[in-house]
Structure 1
Amino acid sequence: MRPGDIKILLVDDEASILQFLELGLRNEGYQVMTASDGLTAVNLVREFHHHIAILDVMMPGMDGFEVCSMIKKMAHTSVIMLTARDEIDDRVKGLKLGADDYVVKPFSFQELLARIEARLRNQFPHLLNEVTIGPFRINDQRKEILFNDSMLSLSNTEYDLLRYLVINHGIVLSKSKILDEVWGYDFGGQENVVEVYVSTLRDKLEDDDHVLIRTIRGAGYRIDLP
């Protein structure tokens, strides 16, 4: 991962939180721009061209929800919202407006770093040299995946499928969703092609008992990692 290539926009009206996060993220190597109100944040979007926006929900004037809605229309960005309230309605509202993740205050800095890295893996994989997720090491530039430090021999489609499953570990992925994301929306084949490729991956991972790539009956597949 090259943090120096990654830009993060921090928006929070609490100066202490803003300073703490800015210092921590700069120490991790990220480029950081800060704003203490929503209007300033929106104006910065045009000049900073950030990858990740971290928005506080409760701000005077233009709140985090409004900022999220506006910047999602202005730029290709991932939004992580900070909220002091773990309310379902708040999370649903934010997600409908385009938020990609939520972190509830108080939170650990390491948790926020993990959320940032997860968003980068999903939305900006070209910024990552190599990503380690559990026993997997994924190198997008070389189109290689190592499992427990052993190189897997994968076709292009096997690589794309395994990468998609690993990056979304813990999430049940339906066959139709997998087809759309791996084979493409215009793929005219049958869903059973997913079963064939999953079976091949299980063989290569020596996952005979299906404990790594799990079949969730009637729903799809899920990779479980430690």
Structure 2
Amino acid sequence: MESSVLLIMSFDRFVAICNPLRYTSILTSARVLQIGLAFALKNVLLILPFPVTLKRLRYCKKNLLSHSYCLHQDVMKLACSDNKFNIIYGLFVALSGILDITCIFLSYALILRAVLGIASQRERLKVLSTCVSHICAVLTFYVPVISLAVIYRFSKHSSPITKILMADIFLFVPPVMNPIIYCVKSQQIRNVILEKLCQKQSLQICLISRKSNL
């Protein structure tokens, strides 16, 4: 779902930069709602078969998971029966994620081409700065995912701690970092945070001065 949201956001940036005059007519509220519902339905239909296909497998006495949550690859490896269908379907779901990141890359390639067509260098930097938060969010999400997939596919003899650490990073880092990324970039949110911090600091200074007077 997060991958789909990042893809929708990249399309939003593409329309805003490459076709700004028609932005409001292309991305109407109704159309955005339709896109969101379509992607949500797609993701539910993709994930729904996982518990069904895992339930039909026969498991051995070993029932200890390697991670702090149910990762499909991890549960699948505990099965004693044939799990070829799970492997093929897992690969199909992974390819859908690759399609998302490919579309994101394509949208930014088109954005870069449009930006390079702008004569003023100052305007180029101004336009590209609007994409910084989204690019950071994409990297925060996809780097742990790709790293975890590479470890599972190619580093079979790697330390279990490495796999657990990467899986936990994939689980916790994106939702923790996303608010920070957008807060730092958004001037309005940044001003509110600085104002709150200044108020808190002023209050601490007042309390310290009162204690010293006492």
TM-score (norm 2): 0.26
Relative contact order: is structure 1 or structure 2 higher (C-alpha 8 Å, sep ≥ 6)?
2
Higher percent of residues as strand? 1
Which protein shows a greater Rg? 2
Greater helix proportion: 2
